[in-house]
Structure 1
Amino acid sequence: MATKKKSFSSMSSSKPGITPWLGIAAIIILLDQVTKITISKLFAFGESLQITSFFNLVLAHNKGAAFSFLATESGWQRYFFTAIAVVAVLFIVFLLKRHAGQRLFCWALALILGGAIGNVIDRSLYGYVIDFLDFHAAGWHWPAFNVADMAICCGAALFVFDELRRVGK
């Protein structure tokens, strides 16, 4: 009785894996940390450099959350926001494993994951998040932010777009 040999390619699972999504998150973390370290080496706290009429580089420390929410509290917020981020990271990894084949959804999660970890690294090492991108126009001044924040915002926008696209099907 002849047995059919399986080829190596047929033995591997066709189920999409989590590795590419973790790679995207790792790239975000790397970009975030390299830019924060660079700004921290080049600028003193509070120092600003005007790049254009609407954009400055500035070294700012955010002890709070987005838009400096709770930044003036006594310090408990550092642990609170770190704990929330750790829970979010674990949940995102679970979702990535479960839905690895849903490309847009996983792009959104990978961006949020990388941004969350980037900011947790700052909170853990320094007690605050390093921000340095400072935009202003027509009398409006946005709070300074960083690469991790951009990744989280882009990920959230992709997540909303993906959900709206699914509802529309």
Structure 2
Amino acid sequence: MSKQASAAIWLWLAVAVFVLDIATKQLAEMLLVYAQPVEILPVLNFTLLYNPGAAFSFLADQSGWQRWFFTAIKLAVSIMLIVWITRLPRTLLWLPAALALILGGALGNLFDRVLFGHVIDFISVHWQNAYFPAFNLADSAISIGAVMMVVDVIRETWHDWRQRR
């Protein structure tokens, strides 16, 4: 490792996402009745649901092997993200923040999968009778982090292109 300061300071954001995700899921478990929606806004319900599959319930109908498969993937990705963040220079802001959001979300869902065998979802967005798959704070952090990474790539590509002109 170089003598340059590391972006590992951003790991606090991953911890914050993890803690908030677990706290909101536990609140959902305590305050909501499974599969009974509570309307928050005309397009937003809180509905306690369990997802044994991956994103958008992918492979949720399988016999149970997916629990350990997704656990292994999330663990490997989490380790990779920690290494990546610690190798980034501290002067960077956007990329380590994006990676930390993804890491915190991945760890939040990993926690559920290991402890319960499923991920706890409770945010349900819909328009009339068209429902988006239920999700949680971890899923939101992962999605925001992924969008931030795309923006970072576009920004870097644009910067490199302008430098070559």
TM-score with structure 1 length normalisation?
A: 0.89
Aligned residues: 157
Cα distance in 2 for partners of 1:166, 1:18 equals 18
Deviations 1:16-58, CA, capped at 9 Å, x for gaps: 3344211000000011000000010112221210111111001
SS in 1 for 2:49: strand
Correspondence 1:112 to 2:112: no
Correspondence 1:35 to 2:29: no
Query: Pick from 50, 69, 73: which aligns with 2:58?
Result: 69
Cα distance in 1 for partners of 2:74, 2:88 equals 20
User: Identity over the aligned pairs, expressed in percent?
Assistant: 41
Query: Pick from 98, 118, 135: which aligns with 1:145?
Result: 135
Cα distance in 1 for partners of 2:153, 2:85 equals 16
AA in 2 matched with 1:69: F
Correspondence 1:94 to 2:75: no
Query: Pick from 34, 39, 42: which aligns with 1:45?
Result: 34
Cα distance in 2 for partners of 1:81, 1:100 equals 30
Cα distance in 2 for partners of 1:18, 1:47 equals 43
Query: Pick from 96, 115, 124: which aligns with 2:114?
Result: 124
Distance change in 2, residues 1:46/1:100 (3 Å) = farther
Deviations 1:43-100, CA, capped at 9 Å, x for gaps: 2221210111111001000000110000010000110111000000111011111114
Extract unaligned runs of 5+ from structure 2: 160-165
Deviates more, 1:97-106 or 1:21-30: 97-106
SS in 2 for 1:51: strand
TM-score with structure 2 length normalisation?
A: 0.91
Deviates more, 1:99-108 or 1:150-159: 99-108
Residue number in structure 2 paired with 1:3: none
Residue number in structure 1 paired with 2:15: 26
Cα distance in 2 for partners of 1:75, 1:150 equals 25
Cα distance in 2 for partners of 1:45, 1:140 equals 20
SS in 2 for 1:59: strand
Q: Quote the RMSD (CA, aligned, Å).
A: 1.4
